[in-house]
């Protein structure tokens, strides 16, 4: 029987004032009702922000190491429940268990990293240009953060936001994606059980138009962290810019894997299969473009089509399945719409291009692994983010053209180059316009202790993950201690 969930505000379960709810169902099996959640709005957001504001002074005053200890305890609970959380994620998001186990493990890694960082929230000491004077920089929390999360990594991405924000001494109101709310509920439950005080973390369920907009516009919110589409990111930047709220945006991608003629083609094949069809292509780091040097184009295309045609698609709870469904009917329609666009633009459909039907598929939102050949760099399927299992294969004559095509989109998140030439690899690292570059590995994300994010339309300069996340959720304060006993005027007295 499905669980009925409520908002979590000031340590209490709270329904939406409207009384409205929505259902969360398994995208692989619509008969599987995962949970029922409240459709909340501005009233619930205001109550959550008020609770977070009231809890902030005591939480920020707690020593950072004590906050870190709570993060560690919560992470240990997550590790104990890893398999249960992975099963839950697969039911509500659809990706296979191998991937959801990795998603939960990333949250676990991020939590243990946060516990360590609580003892490394270092500042900087610099010599003063005046005698008997000390200069240093420390970092301080900012207040209440609003967090708006996507559905494709329903536990890892909330962990990128909550763990560093709380460790820095902030409080939070988090809005889970409407398609994957149960994973955030499970995550925050571990934080509560580990000892996070009431009001420090609050969950408000509901749509972006009601809950998200209320968070953006609430005067009690000091910053907003958002992961999602570039279109919505621009809206968030516009709204928060009016009140000079800090906003951290991790947005879309149109990632490419460049394969040179000297590459290990078998290795490149494994990389593009995982990059393009892992998570059913529904990740901002997905390999959406395969750029291949002319001399090995035909062979590489043949290898990709042959292997992709054999991928087993189905319910991710089946350990033998290699690719799950699209997350929703709407997402599958979007994917198919782009397939029609590609066909209309003159690209050659080499594989797939239609939804899967029949036994085992009619209750879910399944789509065939799809490969377009003879794609040109100006086609929409080569420029726009699709967020589905669609790969565009592009032929280039040499390395220089390959780099130009790779950089030829509005996005710049993850990138990959396959070559055995170390000089060429180093040149690619220099020239590629992306936040992440892999050599001889697919366009995947980052390890938890490394910065994650991109350039151009992929974000606004912030990086989640690693030490850089702690710079997002804190403010530098420059401090001067003058123990000279007299007035010193720096540049005036030093002139």
Mapped onto helix, strand or coil, the DSSP state of residue 401 is helix
| Count of residues making up the chain | 495
Is 142 in contact with 222 (CB distance < 8 Å)? yes
Cα–Cα distance between 25 and 233 in angstroms, integer?
A: 27
Closest CA to 460 of 249, 222, 157: 249
Alpha-carbon distance values, 7 to 17, 38, 251 (Å): 11, 7, 27
Q: Alpha helix locations (H) across 10-152?
A: 42-61, 64-80, 82-93, 97-117
Cα–Cα distance between 240 and 252 in angstroms, integer?
A: 19
Q: Alpha helix locations (H) across 118-253?
A: 156-167, 181-194, 213-217, 230-242
Mapped onto helix, strand or coil, the DSSP state of residue 206 is coil
* CB-based contacts of 176, cutoff 8 Å, min separation 6: 149, 154, 158, 183, 184, 185, 203, 205
User: Which of these is catalytic: 117, 250, 322, 385?
Assistant: 250
* CB-based contacts of 57, cutoff 8 Å, min separation 6: none
Cα–Cα distance between 161 and 144 in angstroms, integer?
A: 12
DSSP label at residue 296: G
Is 139 in contact with 473 (CB distance < 8 Å)? no
Residue 250's beta-bridge partner residues?
227, 459
Is 97 in contact with 87 (CB distance < 8 Å)? yes
Alpha-carbon distance values, 135 to 128, 159, 474 (Å): 6, 34, 19
247 is catalytic: no
Closest CA to 383 of 423, 345, 329, 354: 345
Closest CA to 290 of 429, 408, 394, 431: 394
284 is catalytic: yes
User: Which of these is catalytic: 149, 168, 190, 284?
Assistant: 284
The set of long-range contacts for 80-86, using a CB threshold of 8 Å and a minimum separation of 24, is 81/186, 81/190, 82/108, 84/186, 85/155, 85/183, 85/186, 85/187
**Which are the catalytic amino acids?**
250, 284
């Amino acid at each position: 029987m499905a669980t009925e969930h409520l908002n979590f505000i000031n340590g209490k379960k709270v329904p939406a004032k409207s009384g409205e709810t929505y259902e969360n169902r398994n995208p692989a099996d619509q008969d599987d009702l995962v949970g029922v959640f409240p459709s909340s709005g501005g009233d619930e957001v205001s109550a959550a922000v008020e609770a977070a504001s009231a809890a902030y002074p005591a939480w920020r005053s707690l020593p950072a190491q004590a906050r870190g200890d709570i993060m560690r305890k919560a992470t240990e609970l997550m590790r104990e429940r890893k398999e249960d959380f992975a099963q839950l994620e697969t039911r509500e998001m659809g990706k296979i268990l191998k991937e959801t186990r990795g998603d939960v493990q990333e949250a676990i890694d991020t939590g243990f990293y946060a516990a360590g960082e609580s003892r490394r929230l270092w500042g900087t000491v610099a010599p003063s240009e005046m005698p008997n004077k000390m200069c240093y920089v420390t970092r301080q929390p900012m207040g209440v953060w609003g967090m708006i999360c996507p559905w494709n990594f329903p536990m890892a991405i909330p962990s990128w936001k909550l763990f560093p924000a709380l460790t820095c001494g902030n409080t939070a109101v988090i809005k889970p994606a409407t398609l994957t709310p149960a994973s955030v509920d499970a995550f925050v439950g571990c934080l509560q059980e580990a000892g996070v005080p009431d009001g420090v973390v609050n969950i408000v369920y509901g749509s972006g138009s009601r809950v998200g907009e209320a968070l953006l516009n609430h005067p009690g919110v000091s910053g907003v962290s958002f992961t999602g589409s570039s279109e919505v990111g621009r809206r968030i930047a516009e709204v928060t810019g009016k009140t000079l709220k800090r906003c951290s945006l991790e947005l879309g991608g149109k990632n490419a894997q460049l394969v040179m003629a000297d590459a290990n083609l078998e290795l490149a094949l494994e990389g593009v299969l995982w990059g393009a069809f892992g998570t059913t292509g529904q990740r901002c780091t997905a390999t959406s473009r395969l750029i291949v040097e002319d001399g090995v184009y035909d062979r590489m295309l043949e290898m990709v089509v042959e292997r992709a045609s054999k991928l087993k698609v189905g319910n991710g709870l089946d350990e033998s399945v290699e690719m799950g469904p699209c997350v929703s009917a709407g997402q599958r329609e979007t994917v198919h719409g782009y397939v029609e666009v590609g066909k209309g633009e003159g690209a050659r459909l080499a594989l797939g291009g239609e939804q899967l039907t029949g036994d085992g598929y009619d209750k879910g939102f399944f789509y065939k692994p799809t490969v377009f050949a003879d794609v040109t760099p100006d086609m929409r399927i080569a420029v726009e983010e699709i967020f589905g299992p669609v790969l565009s294969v592009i032929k280039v004559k040499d390395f220089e053209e390959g780099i130009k095509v790779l950089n030829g989109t509005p996005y710049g998140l993850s990138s990959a180059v396959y070559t055995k030439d170390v000089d060429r690899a180093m040149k690619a690292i220099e020239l590629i316009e992306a936040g992440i570059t892999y050599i001889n590995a697919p366009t995947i994300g980052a390890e938890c202790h490394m910065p994650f994010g991109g350039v151009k339309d992929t974000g606004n300069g912030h990086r989640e993950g690693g030490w850089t996340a702690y710079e997002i959720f804190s403010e530098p304060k420059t401090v001067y201690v003058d123990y000279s006993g007299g007035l010193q005027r720096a540049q005036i007295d030093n002139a």
